[in-house]
Chains A and B, each alone.
Chain A
Amino acid sequence: MADTTYEVTIGGRVVRVSLRRAQDGLFARIDDGEEQPARLDTVRGTMRSLGIGDTRTELLAGRDPDGGIRLTLHGSEYQADVVDAAHARLASVAGARQSTSTRLELKAPMPGLVVKILCEVGDEVAAGTPLTVLQAMKMENELALPRGGTVRSIAVSAGQTVEQNQILLVVE
């Protein structure tokens, strides 16, 4: 397989990872850094061992039901969206829907009752702005998104009970 560059989005930060396959293994370049040998071995289940250059580190990694990749390193969990940079560019040249990473769905993190909707369709919202209030586990929880954009649609209304992972609204 040819060399590939991936755009990895983690919590609003985009990291470019270029992978080159050679006779003696896989080599990776992170953003503008030095190219280094890289490998990811599955130990069992979600337990992996990552090698970068001469260093190794253990981490958990697996796929989310909604297509992203979830990883836990040094006690912190991360969610990563990975797109092939070449493919993303082609898709945008062809006028197809832009890279899926611009579309953000606010989903209910747990079953609960929608208490309030704090935005309207067409609103420009910033990252971290509370968009709805969900009552669950005896607490009112303000829900926000890690990135900003325009509210495209709102799928629920105040007073409605929702299931876990139900889409509440979409921001683009």
Chain B
Amino acid sequence: MFKKLLIANRGEIAVRVIRACRDMGISPLAVYSEVDERALHVRMADAAYPIGPAAATDSYLRIDRILEAARRSGAEAIHPGYGFLAENADFSQACRDSGIAFVGPPPQAMRDLGLKTEARKLMRAAGVPVVPGTLDALDSIDQVRQAARDVGFPEAPIALKAVAGGGGKGLRMVSDPAQLETAFRQAMSEAGAAFGDASVYLERAIERPRHVEVQILADQHGTCVWLGERDCSIQRRHQKVLEESPSPAVDDDLRRRMGEVAVRAAQAAGYTNAGTVEFLLAPNGEFYFLEVNARLQVEHPVTELVTGLDLVREQLRVAAGEPLGYGQEAIHRRGYAVECRIYAEDPRNGFLPSIGTLVGYRPPAGPGVRVDSGVEEQDAISVYYDPMIAKLIVHGATRQEGLDRMARALREFLVMGVKTSVPLHRWLVDHPAVRAGRVDTGWLERTLSAGELAAVGEGDVEAVALAAALLADASRATSAVSPDTDHVELTRPGSAWRLAARQASMR
């Protein structure tokens, strides 16, 4: 096993990997940008190396500086986390060329899976079901029209997708033939801007699908196992908001079939290490290959809580060349797990990102509750990086127990200084459609309204008003005794209540 591991990331995932290193007796090493000098992941590591200014393109995306840090530190391996360089085949290759183990799949598998048309060809050849559509990029509107007709357009809607794509960029759904040409142009220009590759291909649009993905684990000796599914159907703008396992829409037979297909997909691509095979699950129970996420995913703890495996530990063992040492029959799933991604954004105000200092931060704890976070009280949420504050993951014996427990944990989660998505999650876990498991990938955007969210915590307003009045009153009592003592934190003269207090004290 490695003695030293460099983590080419920041925030909660860097902290997560550091903890696995400690469990395994590996020395964890961090990198950091100028604004992260005192960040939690830097403090927890055995050593930390500066790699440049705040902007990610000047630091966490700088392959040269990260490899230089690895050389200086004597690290034998690099864990890329997720995001940043995690799915960059050039980075994976550069690590290899420097004699450093990359904790992830081999560069060729990454390249093949990174292009959606290549991935679709690979999967079709391996007998993995793909959504009907083109296997190559489309060059002209005539080709688009023909390909659309071939999959039943306009009776069935189609989707234009970026070949190099992901995250909904360069994606256009079309049901009206008059909009086909415009949509094609828009998809190309968006894909070009986002990925530097304007190529677009076409698929039949699956209506009201669920997003169900299968976690796999493959060693370098030919063993590949599937660890069960995660249902990530609750999404907003193609970003996952809540992830759960098992899926309320998957029974044992479907789970086994999806798992076996996922293993076949991974093996077709020559995949090793931890990966996720994403599927669209149609309302009729048919499922289709969507893509492979060639990295550890944000929502991996959901699978960890259900299987009892430490996925980062397994990643490091695989990267070090160890065999998994167990087969499919050793994988057992127990109970139910669900994750909420707590973002610094205001769900009541158009999901506006919220930045600032966490003047108050008290995460939940207790039975079945796990919080993966890269911040603590007084830390800042900046404009430079992903505004995720924490991942809240809970485990329960059943889905109902898990969702009840999540409601409890969300109630306990107190953050002050930035707005958070907690009110959205509180609304979600109590929603009848979520409780009934009747959602699809478009459900949240169709259902979410300002009025629904405004009702969350409405019953608390009187208590909040009382607390605010008591706080103002206490400060006023203090300033009457000694008007110049400004002992309450964050106070600035000139506010309404302070002026009132000053005048009252002089009456």
Contact = CB atoms under 8 A, between A and B. Distances in A.
Which one of B410, B415, B495, B498 has the greatest number of beta carbons of chain A within 10 Å? B495
A81 interface: yes
Contacts of B489: 45-46, 62-63
B365 interface: no
A77 B415 contact: yes
Contact of A76 (B352, B456, B477, B491): B456
A92 B354 CA distance: 35
Interface in A61-111: 61-78, 80-84, 87-88, 99-101, 109-111
Nearest to B495: A67
Interface in B480-507: 480, 488-492, 494-498, 500-501, 503-504
A9 to B, nearest CB: 9
B416 to A, nearest CB: 4
> Which of A50, A69, A100 counts the most chain B CB atoms within 10 A?
A69
Contact of B463 (A52, A84, A88, A139): A52
Contact of A8 (B415, B423, B465): B465
B473 A4 contact: yes
A78 B362 CA distance: 16
A76 B460 contact: yes
Given A59-B464, A81-B496, A72 B416 contact: yes
B466 A38 contact: yes
B414 A59 contact: yes
A72 B461 contact: no
B33 interface: no
Interface residues of B, number: 63
Contacts of B416: 46, 60-62, 70-72, 77
A41 B31 CA distance: 42
A17 interface: yes
A110 B467 contact: no
Contacts of A45: 359-360, 377, 489
A59 B383 contact: no
Interface string A30-53: 110100001110000111101010
Interface string B342-353: 000000111011
B469 A8 contact: yes
Task: Kindly list the 4 A-B residue pairs having the minimum CB-CB distance in the complex, ordered from nearest.
Answer: A67-B495, A15-B465, A60-B360, A80-B468
B399 to A, nearest CB: 21
Contacts of A87: 500, 503-504
Given A48-B467, A52-B466, A144 B496 contact: no
Nearest to A84: B500
A19 interface: yes
Contacts of B450: 128
Given A46-B360, A62-B490, A87-B503, A28 B466 contact: yes
A23 interface: no
B420 A71 contact: no
B488 A63 contact: yes
A82 B461 CA distance: 14
Contacts of A142: 350
A70 to B, nearest CB: 6
Interface of A: 1, 4, 6, 8, 10-11, 13, 15, 17, 19, 26, 28, 30-31, 33, 38-40, 45-48, 50, 52, 57-78, 80-84, 87-88, 99-101, 109-112, 128, 136-137, 139, 141-144, 164
A99 B350 CA distance: 28
Contacts of B497: 67, 82-84
Contact of B355 (A15, A65, A73, A110): A110
Nearest to B347: A76
A1 B476 CA distance: 10
Contacts of B476: 1
Interface in B364-390: 377, 383, 387
B166 to A, nearest CB: 15
Nearest to A111: B383
Contacts of B423: 75-76
B329 interface: no
Contact of B462 (A6, A19, A30, A82): A30
A17 B465 contact: yes
Contacts of A28: 466, 469-470
Listed residue (B462, B467, B480, B488) with the most chain A CB atoms within 10 angstroms of its CB: B467
Nearest to B409: A75
B47 interface: no
A164 B360 contact: no
A110 B383 contact: yes
19 contacts: A10-B465, A15-B462, A17-B468, A17-B469, A19-B469, A19-B470, A40-B474, A50-B466, A59-B467, A69-B471, A69-B472, A71-B464, A72-B416, A74-B457, A75-B411, A75-B414, A80-B465, A82-B472, A110-B355
Contact of B414 (A60, A63, A128, A143): A60
Contacts of B498: 67
